[in-house]
Structure 1
Amino acid sequence: MTDAIPTNSAVVFAYHSVGVHSIKVLLARGVNIALVVTHNDNPNETIWFDSVAALCAEHNIPTLFEPEPEPLFEAVAKLAPDFIFSFYYRNMLPVPLLALAKRGAYNLHGSLLPKYRGRVPVNWAVLHGATETGATLHEMAAKPDAGAIIAQTAVPILPDDTAHDVFGKLTVASEQTLWDAIPKLLAGTAPRIINDLSKGSYFAGRKPEDGRINWQQTAQQVYNLHRAVAPPYPGAFTDQNGHRFIIKQARLANSPKANLPQGLSVVDNVVFGLCGDGRALRINELLFNGSLITASQLQQLLL
């Protein structure tokens, strides 16, 4: 007598807090996770999110860290999973690998597809002043974020939300989306909605240099940049008087400050950043050489 092969088995590619919460959903819904593939943490990156590796160790789930393509393909082929899932895994999965999933391969994406396809969708949505985003479970295809949509959950982006704030909402939205969709995927009754790529746009990744402030832009544009890259992301920065400053926390000023020069200034012991439309950001926390500086310290550096 041989052991029965587990049904509803899955190979999961995962990273970040969304990866952790999504694996927990699969376990709670009775999916048999045969293998998790994840990333090694980058020592040059601020790791503010939950650890997939730690969760897998806790649950004794076999785990591979960034394996080479050929041994990875062989490992997944041997497991012959029903499903392949990708939860904030940072690499595209090749089509031959996806084809190893007997009942489909699915990805969780941090936007309301087809909007904001591609990299760092939360940051792009905040940068562009979007008032809503969400989580989408979709089929994986040769092109990124192009497969049929299975389920979506929307979340609001409030006027002062940073990308970090929105990511917290998306983590919950991803969990809810997956929780609702898994029973339908297991039963073979999940809907497949056409992902009309003509109604959205694709965005590439962002580099630290993309956080440089252009003070000629409007105050809302500069504020959106700050919100999109505020810590724990690298932060919006400006070079002034030979020094680099990073905005940690700011708000739009209540009244115009057109009498100030563009860029950073100190007025009545308050730091402002004047923008091209005569409006300003009131900067409540400013970083210099990795530490917070006061308005009086900034004033001395700007002399």
Structure 2
Amino acid sequence: MTALATTHAGTTPDTPPLRVAVVAALPQTAPPLVEALQALGHQVPVVIGFRRPPDWPGHVLGEHDLPPGVDLAIPSAPERVGELLRAYCPDAAVSYGYPRRLPAAAVTAPRLGTVNCHPSDLPAYRGPNPVGWAVRNGEREIGVTWHRMDAELDTGAVLARTRIPLDPSVWSFTGVNTLVLKAAAAMLPHVLGRLAREEAGEPQTAEAGGWAGFFGEDYATVDWSAPAAHIHTQVRAWNIAGHHPRCEGPVAVIDGTRWRLRRTTLDRPPTGTGRRIACGTGDLWVLAADPLG
């Protein structure tokens, strides 16, 4: 998918090879970043991963996910990230999707600083669930922003940004992540060039961008009296948002049994596929769901 309305100028052949650490927790995020950096001629000495929480439902990054010559370091706590980065003496660090805020000692450990990729047009949708909220709000495209990291969350100066379509056929974090990383990788030459030139970047606008936190109980239960289109959006937003450690959704009751809805459609599927539900306005077909105890 082609990135739209980019604010960067493409490649920067004058950028010297850099030692770039990657800070990323998932096998869907770290390997593509490593590959993109190496393809640009930069060295990736280490990926800073994340210790698997007891309630984590999916996979976390493992050493088998990384190419030869790239170390994987798992800090015992976020406060250890800076120490690990300093041990590898990187020129810069790039972060995407790390599930904890990095302390100042980590952000400033690389010689040229640390940059983060955030899937929104900052300052809009700051926080851990930007794409989920974009879907919930009916957005048809999302931003992708590379920004310097500072003491706060998603507030640092912008080095590059673009916008990409929010494909309605994409229903998972992994699907959105693939599109975001493609756009982010295309901006990396410009971002690293600006870092090498020690450019500060453009401060984010002072306007309130809105906080994109995890969905809560107020959005977790499906109300079949609502319009079918509203419920369809709710199901997609929850599934793109992914794992939530404290709240499960969207939960619906069908024939007296509680289900977590995974996939729905507003269009009649082939005969024998899905379960039709009459909603407050229109019909919705449930294509996939998990029973809840």
1:109/1:137 contact within 8 Å kept: yes
Decide whether aligned partners of structure 1 residues 185 and 29 sit closer, same or farther in structure 2, where only a CA change above 3 A counts: farther
| CA distance in 2 between partners of 1:200 and 1:232 (Å) | 19
- 1:181 matched to 2:191: yes
Q: 1:67: how far off?
A: 2.9
Structure 2: which 5+ residue stretches go unaligned?
1-15, 244-248
> What is the alpha-carbon distance in structure 2 between the residues aligned to residue 37 and residue 65 of structure 1?
6
Aligned residue for 1:31, secondary structure, equals: coil
Q: Does the aligned pair in 1 maintain the 2:127–2:213 contact within 8 Å?
A: yes
Match of 1:38 among 49, 59, 64: 49
Q: What RMSD in Å do the two structures reach over aligned CA positions?
A: 3.3
2:37 to 13, 26, 30: 26
Aligned counterpart for 1:112 among listed residues 104, 115, 121: 121
Give per-residue Cα distances to partners, 1:100-149, cap 9 Å, x unaligned. Answer: 22212111112221221101212221122111113211000111110111
Deviations 1:153-205 (A, max 9, x none): 3211234442444333223222222244334433x176722212525211212
- With normalisation by structure 1, the TM-score equals 0.75
- CA apart distance, 1:53: 3.4
Q: How does 1:217-228 map to 2 (within 5 A)?
A: 217-228=226-237
The residue identity in structure 2 corresponding to 1:272 is R
Greater fraction of residues in strand? 1
- Residue 244 of structure 1 corresponds to 258
Kindly indicate whether the alpha-carbon contact (under 8 Å) linking 1:8 and 1:31 is maintained by their aligned counterparts in 2.
yes
CA 1:229–1:179 in structure 2 vs 1: closer, same or farther (change >3 Å)?
farther
AA aligned opposite 1:273: I
Query: Distance between the aligned counterparts of 2:265 and 2:61, measured in 1?
Result: 32
Q: Which range moves more in the overlay, 194-203 or 143-152? A: 194-203
State how far apart, in whole Å, the 1-side matches of 2:292 and 2:77 are: 39
SS at match of 2:287: strand
Distance 2:142 2:241 in 1: 20
1:284 to 279, 284, 287: 287
Task: Report which stretch shifted further, 153-162 or 130-139.
Answer: 153-162
**Cα 1:127–1:182, aligned 2, differ >3 Å: closer, same or farther?**
same
What amino acid maps onto 2:202 in structure 1? I
Q: Which of residues 55, 61, 71 in structure 1 aligns to 2:65?
A: 55
Residues 1:36 and 1:133: Cα distance change in structure 2 (over 3 Å):
same
Task: Tell me what 1:296 maps to.
Answer: none
1:158 equivalent in alignment to 2:167: yes
| Residue in structure 2 matched with residue 201 of structure 1 by the alignment | 210
Q: Which amino acid aligns with 2:97?
A: Y
CA distance in 2, matches of 1:286, 1:71: 40
**Partner residue in 1 for 2:278:** 274
Whether contact under 8 Å (1:22, 1:178) holds in the other structure is: no
Percent of aligned pairs with the same residue? 23
Structure 2 residue identity aligned to 1:11: A
2:143 partner letter: G
Counterparts of 1:22 and 1:177, CA distance in 2: 12
- Partner in structure 2 of residue 75 of structure 1: 84
Q: Give 1:245's aligned amino acid.
A: W
> Residue type of the partner of 1:252?
L
- State how far apart, in whole Å, the 2-side matches of 1:52 and 1:24 are: 16
Q: Within the alignment, does 1:229 sit opposite 2:243 as a pair?
A: no
Q: Kindly tell me: are residues 90 and 270 of structure 1, through their superposed partners in 2, closer, same or farther at Cα, counting changes over 3 Å?
A: closer
Show CA shifts across 1:17-47 (max 9, x none).
2322112112222323333210234564443
> Take 1:158 and 1:77, find their aligned partners in 2: how far apart are those partners?
40
Q: 1:33 is aligned with what amino acid? A: V
TM value normalised by structure 2: 0.77
Q: Are 1:146 and 1:197, in contact at CA under 8 Å, matched by a contact in 2?
A: no
Question: What is the aligned partner in structure 2 of residue 263 from structure 1?
Answer: none
Instruction: State the distance in 2 between where 1:232 and 1:197 align.
Output: 27
